[in-house]
Structure 1
């Protein structure tokens, strides 16, 4: 029989810890082994694979192309092993669960879901933080974050919770002052509400003559979160483009009016739960993610 699989999984866990902690010494401290032992394990792993996984300098540690591929695969395998262990162990959910979420999603979905979650897990303390800024999960000691939109490549593990289409809309008070746009190009003559964070798009996508275009938009108000954008739209400050879930009630009651729907490209805003991989996933994190998936399943706002 080839070398025992548990020995290979041990190499994976050490490798993942080195990548997560950014160095051999830090990984050794967290694993409670010596730096030389970490170095030997990584060297043995590279020798077995016949590929260099890490490049070490006096200032930084960098993954090679082979290292990137192996790291992603190792995280998945380690998570599956941890899942099997926890499913068999059936331990209780307890401790403090630190959750970070975007403001609109957090207030509309996470907060209302907490009473039932706490009732089912009485030994758990939930610590909620809602912000549209991107937090560093490790630096902020956050167990799980809920993020909207496309995710950048990283060592974090993502679990999809749902999705929502986007909608362009404005308040009747704004449309009473300004002629409603008929085609996307009309937005050049309108005040469009935009986001000021770096991942924000400088243009909005639309379908024109069967193909997708990027329509540049400008405006005199930029904001840093979806809730403020909705309030600005309701106040008649301009035209907004947001996730449908965020403005569904306002559209249903006529407080906001959808615009250019015939040109809507149908692009989706994905919702993911994000957490740090490379080690055992705490039961409290797993329980929260499963609770949110169950809560959001079938929601007319996320489909």
Structure 2
């Protein structure tokens, strides 16, 4: 009996709660017991406390179980990822998108993806809340900010690059700011979500400047702010990806290009995340690659056969 088979049997016994319950799945009680005893003999420690009525892990058994569960899960994921290359891209993909990135970037680009994979259907929920992926049966989600310690895999979509922009009609009426200090004389559209304020921060050549701005329109919703700026109501600090299309269409104009804008200390990288426990199906791989290409401004979609992402792009939270 090979070592990994014995380890898998040990995991089944722990999860089932008894030798008999584990044996009912695929083997005999005596075979299950022999495999666990053989594993204990090889390790030189007792993994399970046995009695006629109960079964419990010893301290070394608990530590061993926690480690081998991770290894077994990684192996299953590796197998799933390998076989996913033979799968067709079809079925329902359940995704959770942030409101701003979903409506301004991702949903408008979906026709190109669905044209390439006509057997794929996408079930979309829009929320800025971080839902439990497994409990809510979500295949892929888009999150912003730090990734918590949990069983997920994250791939970076976009860094936290922000820019200042406004509509051509606004600049015709009020002029174009040349320096951050000029913003004190301008109407600014303000984001009022928690921990944001009316101080915009700029950096150039190692020099930092904080400007307190004012405005007649404020909101805790990014789409409201975007609409206000496009309507000529004021200047806005916004993620570059969120206004890529309006800028290309001439509805917004970027200003203060020589300055790095960081109104809220470094928290806003965008990630595509999915549960590590499910492995990586081909439809998930295709959608994540689509998101990466989209936010990087790639002209063509990346298929599942693309090269794996670099270490800088992949982030897996510790177990």
Q: TM-score range by the shorter chain?
A: 0.5 to 0.7
* 1:269/1:278 CA distance change after superposition, 3 Å: same
> Which sits farther off after the overlay, 165-174 or 199-208?
199-208
Answer yes or no: is the 8 Å Cα contact 1:212–1:265 preserved in 2.
Answer: no
1:85 is matched with: 80
CA distance in 2, matches of 1:120, 1:273: 20
Is structure 2 residue 172 aligned with structure 1 residue 154? no
Q: Deviations over 1:205-237 (max 9, x none)?
A: 311562234444443433344332221001122
2:183 is matched with: 187
1:105 is matched with: 101
**Secondary structure of 1:191's match?**
coil
Higher CA-based Rg = 2
Is structure 2 residue 163 aligned with structure 1 residue 167? yes
CA distance in 2, matches of 1:126, 1:254: 31
**Secondary structure of 2:251's match?**
coil
Answer yes or no: is the 8 Å Cα contact 1:164–1:245 preserved in 2.
Answer: no
Is structure 2 residue 286 aligned with structure 1 residue 287? yes
Is structure 2 residue 267 aligned with structure 1 residue 271? no
Matched ranges for 1:1-303 at <5 A:
4=4, 7=7, 40=56, 43-44=59-60, 46-48=62-64, 74=70, 78-79=73-74, 81-88=76-83, 90-138=86-134, 140-148=136-144, 150-155=145-150, 156-163=152-159, 165-178=161-174, 180-198=176-194, 200=196, 203-208=199-204, 210-265=206-261, 270-295=269-294, 298-299=297-298
Answer yes or no: is the 8 Å Cα contact 2:184–2:213 preserved in 1.
Answer: yes
Please report the TM-score for the alignment, with normalisation by the length of structure 2. Answer: 0.61
May I ask how many residue pairs the two structures share in their alignment?
A: 258
> Which sits farther off after the overlay, 224-233 or 193-202?
193-202
CA distance in 1, matches of 2:78, 2:96: 23
The unaligned stretches of length 5 or more in structure 2 are 18-24, 26-48, 300-319
**Secondary structure of 1:97's match?**
strand
Q: Deviations over 1:22-43 (max 9, x none)?
A: xx9xxxxxxx9xxx99x94695
**Secondary structure of 2:246's match?**
helix
Shift, 1:240, TM fit: 0.3
The unaligned stretches of length 5 or more in structure 1 are 16-23, 25-31, 54-69
Q: Deviations over 1:148-187 (max 9, x none)?
A: 4x32423132112344732101223333444543432343
* 1:293/1:47 CA distance change after superposition, 3 Å: closer
Please report the TM-score for the alignment, with normalisation by the length of structure 1. Answer: 0.64
Q: Deviations over 1:232-268 (max 9, x none)?
A: 0011222101122332343345432322222225889
CA distance in 2, matches of 1:290, 1:209: 35
> Which sits farther off after the overlay, 104-113 or 232-241?
104-113
Answer yes or no: is the 8 Å Cα contact 1:78–1:279 preserved in 2.
Answer: no
